[in-house]
Structures are given as C-alpha cells and as structure tokens.
C-alpha cells in the first residue's frame, strides 16, 4: 500500500515554532501514503496554526498542561534516585556524582516514557501492517528521539520494514548549550537510531568526535529556505533586522546594548526591527525604550514562516544581526541571505558555515564586545552603493549554492525513502 511517515515534532503544526518544518514537510508527501505528526510539547486544546499537506494527520498528544505534566515527571523521576536502573550504567561516566545531572536524567527518562505512552495511544488506531515500510522521524535529537526509538520497536512488530532517524540542531547537539553541560542518553540514542542528521558540519563533527564508534550513522543535512528573489537596500534609512525567540541563549539584549553605542555616531536614520516573541520580551522592550530613543524600534511579535518571507518582500532591509551564544545553522539567517541581506553573527555552532567572512557577512566571537558590533554596523553604513550591490549579490549567490530549500529538502526526502527501500 505504500509507506508511512511518523514525524515527532515539538509543536508543529500547533503554535508558531518550528517554522522550518512547515517548509520541509511538503517535500515528503509524494513518498508516503500517510504522514502522521505527533506534537509532544503543546498544552491541551491548542489549535493548528499552520496548514499541513495532503494525506497528513496531526495530533497534539498532550493530556495535561506542560508545566503540570513536567512537574509530575520531576516528582516521579526523583522516586528512582535511590535505585540503580539499567540505563544508569551508560550514564554514570557522564554524570559522575553530580546529583543535579542525576535528577535531570531521571526527569528526562520519566518525561520520555510519559510522552511515549501518549503517542502510543494515538498510534494504536492505525494499522501499520498494511504499509510496505514505516519511517519514524524525530525532528530533535532529545526526548522526541527516545520516543521514536520506543515507537520503532512497537511498530516493527506489525511492519517488518521500519527505520528510525533523527535530525539534530543546536541544544540537542552541544552539551555546552545545557546549563548542566549534560545531554542525557546519547549512547542509547546513537545505538537505537539508523541515522542522525545534524543540520551543520560542525554538529556532525561534534557528535562524531564524542562518539566515534557511531560516526557512520552521523551525516549533516542542511536545512533551507525558499527562493523569493533578491530584495533591494533602503534609500533614506539604514534598516537592521533580527529574528529569534526572546530567550537567554539568543541574547537580544546584546543587540540593544550594541545599537545604543551608535548614538551620535552617524547621520543616517536608523531602524531596528525584531521578529519574534518569548519569555524575555517585556524585559527587552523596556531596555530598548530606555536606550534606543534616538532610533526607530519595531517589534513584530511572533509571526509565521510565510509572514517572515512577506516581511522581507515588502520591506527593504540592509543588515541582519544574530548574537546567539549557541546555534545549529539558524534558519533565520538562511531566510535573510536568500534575499541578499548581509549578516553579522556570532561564530557559534554552524554559523560559520553560512557566513563567509567579509564576502557575504561578518563573524564575531561569542564573547564579542558591544563596540565590536557597533563598529561593524557603522562600517556597513558607510559603504557606497557599488559595494553594497556587490555584497548583496555575493550573499544571494552563496545561499543559492548551499541553502536552497528546493534542493536540500528534496535530497533529504529522497534519502529517507531510499533508506526504507534498502
């Protein structure tokens, strides 16, 4: 009857996160008779906020609010602290005698088990025996991947041809991105998965160096953005855009501080637009109000992937800025360079794979100074029209070569279905 794809997301197509999945998923549809999406991190009652392709069923698997459910995971996990469960043997060398890491491990295990149970109840109504093959696809190499491993074992009892793969991005790749410097159950996941696809060469290298025995399973696969043409620079202002969640790792406050250093140093009218929302939004807005009264500041709030493209189509943007302390290969940067917009960004994760220093953008150390970013912005403001045109042409050409969604996602979709047919 054809193949089935079971995709485990965090929130897609509910809420407005994971915009990149909205871009990717249509490339898989021609390969599968049925696609089932399980969104594991959404509160009950959330409605679909994005469209989904034909032949696709999407479920919010949660039966309780996330905060309440995760509090229960912590409590149930703590009950196991005096015990020595089997998985502790793998993890002991990574957690040592650190009680915080042990608590996090037990919470992680309990959360994964709970969400696996919620996913299983939904999948029980499907007859997987009628499919030629089933691909289990976890979008993150974290709890959803543990769930994917367990679901694979269940479905394999009904359909003999089952594969399990996972993408990996930033927080689910780099231990340093976790406040404890620890990501649980790495070896278990690498044993279980048929392939893991970090979204950067740097991510592939990081996992392979830590777990060389599994390096044959680890291959990077770039994300991508759609082609909406080359945009034009501004004429009477200098327009800077940033796009991210308001959360600590994104360090939007550093953008505010750096822009504040531009006061009185250029005659150009300045505009800064930030796209996104999040837990630190009120704090950042207050900081901008205090420090950036000399320029125009705009906050769009959370908008959909298609609205981000529409924004770049209808607004002239001169520079994109990203100051994150940790990244994979940020889709927000891909979207900007697809329009020929040059970028200044911190050289973390795979960001150095998307920006060629001085050719289509500039890289800063993760611990950059405000004056460094401010100085670079002033330098770009001072470029003449010829240099700006050449810069934007180079930016666009690099995107075409490496981050075109049509090519990247088509190749990735073909690769997955090829694995099923091996």
pLDDT digits (tens, 9 = 90+) for 118-148: 999 999 999 999 999 999 999 999 999 999 9
pLDDT at site 357: 86
Confidence of residue 329 (pLDDT cuts 50, 70, 90): confident
Q: Which tokens belong to 211?
A: 């777990």
Q: In whole angstroms, what is the distance from residue 137 CA to residue 196 CA?
A: 10
Confidence of residue 360 (pLDDT cuts 50, 70, 90): confident
Is-contact 360 398, C-beta < 8 A? yes
Residues pairing with 37 in the sheet: 7, 58
Q: Which tokens belong to 338?
A: 């697809």
The alpha carbon torsion through 225, 230, 234, 235 (nearest 10 deg) reads: 180
Is-contact 139 167, C-beta < 8 A? yes
Q: In whole angstroms, what is the distance from residue 115 CA to residue 336 CA?
A: 35
pLDDT at site 25: 95
How much is the average pLDDT of 52-61? 94
Reply yes or no on whether the pLDDT at 16 is more than 80.
Answer: no
> Residue 342, SS3?
coil
Q: How many CB atoms lie within 10 A of CB 286?
A: 11
Reply yes or no on whether the pLDDT at 117 is more than 80.
Answer: yes
Interhelix angle 370-381/252-260, nearest 10 degrees: 60
Per residue in 333-359, pLDDT (tens digit) is 999 999 999 999 999 988 999 998 888
Domain at 3-224+405-421: CATH architecture:
3-Layer(aba) Sandwich (3.40)
Residue 276 DSSP code: B
Per residue in 366-413, pLDDT (tens digit) is 999 999 999 999 999 999 999 999 999 999 999 999 999 999 999 999
Give ∠ CA 172-215-346 in degrees, rounded to 5. Answer: 45
Confidence of residue 48 (pLDDT cuts 50, 70, 90): confident
pLDDT at site 47: 85
Q: Which tokens belong to 275?
A: 């796209």
The DSSP annotation for 2-69 comes to -EEEEEEESSTTBSS--HHHHHHGGGTGGG-SEEEEEE-S--TTPPB-S---TTEEEEE--SS-HHHH
Category of 295 on φ-ψ map: left (φ > 0), alpha (ψ -120 to 50) or beta: beta
Residues pairing with 57 in the sheet: 36
Reply yes or no on whether the pLDDT at 107 is more than 80.
Answer: yes
Whole-number percent of the chain with pLDDT over 70: 100
Reply yes or no on whether the pLDDT at 266 is more than 80.
Answer: yes
Reply yes or no on whether the pLDDT at 1 is more than 80.
Answer: no
Reply yes or no on whether the pLDDT at 94 is more than 90.
Answer: yes
Reply yes or no on whether the pLDDT at 206 is more than 90.
Answer: yes
How much is the average pLDDT of 172-199? 96
Pairing status of strand 3-9 against strand 34-39: parallel
Q: How high is the mean pLDDT of the chain? A: 94
pLDDT at site 306: 83
pTM: 0.88
Per residue in 280-312, pLDDT (tens digit) is 999 999 999 999 999 999 999 988 878 899 999
Confidence of residue 331 (pLDDT cuts 50, 70, 90): confident
State the span(s) of the chain assigned CATH 3.40.50.2000: 3-224+405-421, 237-402
CATH 3.40.50.2000 is held by the domain 237-402: yes
């Amino acid at each position: 009857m054809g193949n089935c794809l079971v995709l485990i997301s965090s929130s897609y197509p509910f809420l407005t996160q994971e915009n990149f999945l909205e871009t990717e998923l249509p490339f898989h549809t021609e390969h599968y008779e049925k696609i089932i999406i399980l969104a594991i991190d959404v509160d009950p009652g959330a409605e679909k906020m994005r469209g989904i392709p034909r032949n696709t069923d999407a479920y919010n698997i949660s039966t309780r609010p996330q905060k309440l459910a995760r509090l229960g995971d912590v409590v149930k996990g703590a009950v196991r602290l005096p015990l020595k469960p089997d998985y502790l043997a793998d993890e002991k060398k990574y957690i040592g005698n650190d009680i915080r890491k042990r608590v996090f491990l037990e919470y992680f295990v309990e959360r994964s088990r709970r969400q696996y149970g919620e996913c299983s109840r939904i999948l029980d109504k499907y007859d997987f025996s009628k499919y030629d093959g089933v691909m289990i696809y976890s979008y993150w190499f974290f709890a959803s991947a543990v769930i994917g491993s367990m679901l694979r074992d269940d479905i394999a009892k009904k359909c003999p041809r089952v594969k399990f793969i996972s993408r990996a991005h930033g927080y689910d790749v780099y231990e340093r991105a976790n406040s404890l410097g620890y990501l649980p159950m790495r070896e278990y996941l690498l044993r279980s998965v048929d392939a893991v696809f970090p979204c950067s060469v740097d991510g592939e290298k990081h996992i392979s160096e830590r777990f060389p025995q599994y390096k044959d399973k680890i291959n990077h696969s770039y994300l991508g953005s759609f082609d909406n043409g080359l945009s034009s620079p501004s004429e009477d202002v200098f327009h800077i855009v940033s796009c991210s969640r308001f959360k600590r790792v994104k360090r939007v406050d550093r953008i505010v501080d750096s822009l504040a250093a531009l006061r009185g140093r250029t005659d150009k009218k300045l505009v800064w637009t930030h796209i996104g929302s999040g837990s630190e939004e009120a704090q950042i807005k207050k900081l901008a109000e205090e420090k950036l009264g000399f320029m125009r500041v705009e906050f769009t709030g959370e908008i959909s992937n298609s609205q981000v493209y529409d924004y770049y189509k209808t607004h002239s943007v001169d520079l994109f800025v990203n100051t994150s302390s940790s990244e994979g290969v940020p889709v927000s940067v891909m979207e900007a360079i697809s329009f020929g917009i040059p970028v200044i960004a911190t050289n973390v994760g795979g960001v150095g794979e998307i920006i060629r220093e001085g050719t289509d953008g500039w890289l800063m150390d993760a611990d950059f100074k405000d004056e460094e970013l401010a100085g670079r912005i002033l330098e770009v403001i001072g470029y003449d029209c010829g240099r700006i045109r050449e810069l934007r042409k180079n930016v666009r050409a690099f995107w075409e070569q490496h981050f075109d969604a049509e090519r990247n996602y088509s190749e990735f979709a073909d690769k997955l279905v090829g694995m099923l047919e091996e």
